A and B are shown apart, each in its own frame.
Chain A
Amino acid sequence: MEQIVVNGLYLGAQYALIALGLTLIFALMNVLNFAHGQMYVLGGFVSYVVYGKFGLPFPLALLASALTLLFVGAAVERFLFRRVLKKSVREESTMLLAAGLAFFFDGIILLLFGQKQRGVPKIVDGIWNWEAGEVIIANDRIAVGVCAILLIVSFIAFMQYTKPGRAMRALAQDKTAAQLMGVNIDRYGMLGFALGAMLAGVVGGLLVAITGVSSGIGGPISIKAFLMVMIGGAGVVPGAIAGGFILGMLESVGLATLRTYGDITYLVIFASLMVFLSIRPHGLMGKPWG
């Protein structure tokens, strides 16, 4: 049982980090970023090239992933989403743009990095064995889990205690009021989108050390991220974190207890989610009014 709980917490930490970027973009711009998974993949490949191919230190690879996606996110917001949002009031315009962007990134990633699964050397060797095999976890997974939690804490602190963080929170709560109070919505919209993309890139870069990366996995990652956001409540940062940990735990417990019935864990999760959303459509922490 201890192993199942540890697995769930570890999965939850990485899932929460994936969901954070998605929910941030949704909160600030009301955009469902279907390309979030592809941004994760791009971050993974940047880390793979810097750490796996060039042999540079892993923290440097993470930084490269973060900066690349920060730039990509800013450019995507500035030249695509901002224009669409100003010209169209229909929500599906940005959804279609995001879907198009996902296909575009899939194509570009395939072209640049090929179709093969890529992996990198372990960032930390060794295994942590507790109570003679009751809990076994590789040290690199512990390192990744700790990094994920540190990043989540840093992000919350940034949003809570810095001027840009406060501006983005104001923007998320009420765009018009924030604008009237002097918040530059273009600047902070771009910053928020870039930060959201950066988070996707960082988690992609981080997890390349564990699960590697390959083109074509962006779609399933986006689906999981949406699942977490639906559980926690769209556009709510604590909701995304809660959603991530809940999904991680559900997955871990489900895989351990339902395995004799076949691969039904996600079937059960989806069915439960449908029931849950029919009772609480705005998720655990979302607000019914948006």
Chain B
Amino acid sequence: MPVKKTFAALAAALALALPGGSALAANDTLKIGFVGVTSGPKAAWGISNVRCMQTRAKWVNDEGGVKIGGKTYDIEIITWDTQDSPTRAKEGMEKMVQEGIRYVVGPNTDPTAAAVRPVAEQDGVMYFPYAFPKELYSKPAGNAVLGMIANYQSGPAIYKHLKENSGVKSIAFLAANESDALSQRKGGVAAAKALGLKVLAEDAYQSDTRDFVPVVTPVVKLKPDLLVLSGVAGGTAPLVIRALRELGYKGLISTETAQDAAQLKQGAGDLANGFISVGGASTPEIRSAKMEEFIKRYTADHGQYDDESNTKVYALEYILETLKANPKALDDVKVFQAAMDDFSAPNPYLKGNEKLQYVGNSSFGQKRQLGVPMVVTEYRDGEFETLFVTKAD
């Protein structure tokens, strides 16, 4: 018996002595959901989201939690892999509702984002997709907030820059035969025509294509000044670029999606030099010390940092800061929506006096987009170099 008592006393003393132990026990939990793709060819998009959320949540929890309306919460990230299937995505959103979650990051693709919309709107969930259909963010829709720069925002900016600085006059488009890529191609073609560029081709390929030589042979013969790989997945881009360059294509290549430098280096090597893409919302020149700290923590937790996470870091930050400013939004997303127009908070990830502010008026007629820098990059020797930085709205 004395031994048991001694153990109990030791255990109690240990619990009290552990740093943060009592605070952790006292904090309530704020669950934030993630419904997105973390397996298959597009997995990199969702995994980047999850890792950003987990890294930031752990950081907040390590510092004692987040204070919202006089209470302190530990953040718990609940994840669901859609496997890029609309049915799975809907199931995922239903699971979030069952868990009482009001704020969900994702999904990552057009069909999955469209699939979760009815559940989110019916059950009062705000979700932050990385998908581009305008109807998700335009009235009467109100629950979706675009988490990144859309192709119809970055495309015109890239084409204009290349027209003015590289003398681009003709353009061709190549997209996978799936809704995301085709919709991005459509937007790109419209933007190119509006700029007066000559559109030479609007080609498509099977999304499971592995060898692109037969696919790109006809378009190489057309010799466009710029070839746009609309909505190309990170794993596919090096394969297309390699085939293009090996067939002797000398023009520029660009895309409006974020890419992975490591994959480009491994899959295409020097052939990928000069490839233009939309980078993550951060560059060494504009990032703050807090962003540097985030990158350090992310790398420590997950091994390798990727450029896309520079954008994905923002969703959780926006959710938490908006909730901190409007505690009643914890249980009512209508309060969150009402606050979005005037919301403003310091942007912790950028130098200077930059703000976190919702944008999107010009594209959606209402503020349903996270305000993040639009960084256009050029791949060179394993790194992304900043081509130019601008804003979406």
Q: Which residues of A contact B (CB under 8 A)?
A: 3-4, 7-8, 10-11, 14, 52, 110, 115-122, 127, 129, 133, 136-138, 141, 207, 210-212, 214-217, 220-221, 251-252, 255-256, 259, 262-263, 265-266
- A-B pairs with beta carbons under 8 Å apart, 9 shown: A10-B213, A11-B211, A11-B214, A117-B266, A121-B269, A133-B248, A221-B210, A255-B218, A259-B203
A117 touches B235 (CB 8 A): yes
A119 touches B208 (CB 8 A): no
A256 touches B213 (CB 8 A): no
Nearest-neighbor residue (CB-CB) of A3 within chain B: B217
CA distance A215 to B236 in the complex (A): 13
Q: Is B214 touching A118 in the complex (CB atoms < 8 A)?
A: no
Contacts of A266 in B (CB 8 A): 206
Bound Cα distance from A133 to B214, whole angstroms: 15
Type the 1/0 row for B248-277, where 1 means its CB is closer than 8 Å to any CB of A. 100000000000101100111100000000
Q: Is the CB of A116 within 8 A of B263?
A: yes
- Interface presence of B24 (CB below 8 A): no
A211 with B210, Cβ < 8 A, contacts A115-B39, A116-B44 known? yes
Q: Nearest CB to that of A223 among chain B residues?
A: B208
Tell me whether B267 and A207 are in contact (CB under 8 A): no
Contact at B217–A7, with CB atoms within 8 Å? yes
Rounded to whole angstroms, the CA-CA distance of A113 and B47 in the bound complex is 15
Assess the B39–A263 pair: CB atoms within 8 A.
no
Contacts of A220 in B (CB 8 A): 208
Q: Verify A7–B213 contact, CB threshold 8 A.
A: yes
**B247 CB within 8 Å of chain A:** yes
Q: Given A4, A8, A110, A141, which contacts B39 in the complex, CB threshold below 8 Å?
A: A110
Task: Count A/B pairs, Cβ under 8 Å.
Answer: 102
Let me know if B166 is at the binding interface, CB within 8 A: no
Given contacts A138-B246, A216-B40, A217-B208, contact A117 B217 (CB under 8 A): no
Q: Closest Cβ of chain A: how far from B26's Cβ, in Å? A: 37
The docked-state distance in angstroms from the alpha carbon of A115 to that of B36 is: 14
Q: Which residues of B contact A120 (CB under 8 A)?
A: 266
Contact present for A217 and B210 (CB under 8 Å): yes
State whether A210 touches B266 (Cβ < 8 A): no
Q: How far is the CB of A113 from chain B (nearest CB, A)?
A: 12
B349-391: contact bitstring with A at CB < 8 Å (1 yes, 0 no)? 0000000000000000000000000000000000000000000
Q: Check B238 for interface membership: any CB of A closer than 8 A.
A: yes
Q: Are A212 and B238 in contact (CB under 8 A)?
A: yes
Contact of B205 with A by CB under 8 A: yes
Taking a contact as CB atoms under 8 Å apart, the answer to whether B41 and A263 are in contact is no
Q: Specify which of B40, B43, B246, B269 is in contact with A136 (CB 8 Å cutoff).
A: B246
Please pick, from B211, B213, B214, B267, the residue contacting A119 in the complex, using a CB distance under 8 A.
B267
Other A-B contacts than A7-B214, A116-B260, 9 sampled, CB-CB below 8 A, are A52-B266, A117-B41, A117-B239, A117-B266, A136-B248, A212-B267, A216-B40, A216-B41, A252-B214
Within 8 Å of chain A (Cβ to Cβ): is B177?
yes
As a 0/1 sequence over residues 211 to 227 of chain B, the CB contacts with chain A under 8 angstroms (1 = contact) are 10111011000000000
Residues of B close to A263: CB separation below 8 A: 177, 203-206
- Given A115-B40, A115-B44, A263-B204, the answer on whether A255 and B214 have CB atoms closer than 8 Å is yes
Closest to A257 in B: B218
Contact with A along B98-125 (1 / 0, CB 8 A): 0000000000000000000000000000
In the bound complex, what is the Cα–Cα distance between A33 and B203 (angstroms)?
A: 34
In the complex, what residues of B have CB within 8 A of residue A207's CB?
A: 210-211
Rounded to whole Å, the gap between the CB of B196 and the closest CB of chain A is 23
In the bound complex, residues from chain B placing their C-beta under 8 Å from that of A119 are 238, 263, 266-268
- Residues of chain B within 8 A (CB-CB) of A211 are 210-211, 239
Chain B contacts for A10, CB-based, 8 A: 213
Decide if B38 is an interface residue (CB 8 Å cutoff): yes
Chain A residues near B279: list those with CB within 8 A.
Answer: none
CB distance from A129 to the nearest CB of B (A): 8
Answer whether A117 and B234 are a contact pair too, CB < 8 Å, given A216-B39, A263-B204: yes
User: If A7-B217, A8-B214 touch, does A115 touch B38 (CB 8 Å cutoff)?
Assistant: yes
Q: How far is the CA of A127 from the CA of B267 in the complex (A)?
A: 17
Rank and list the top 8 A-B pairs by shortest CB-CB distance, nearest first.
A117-B235, A119-B267, A115-B43, A263-B204, A220-B208, A263-B177, A211-B210, A119-B266
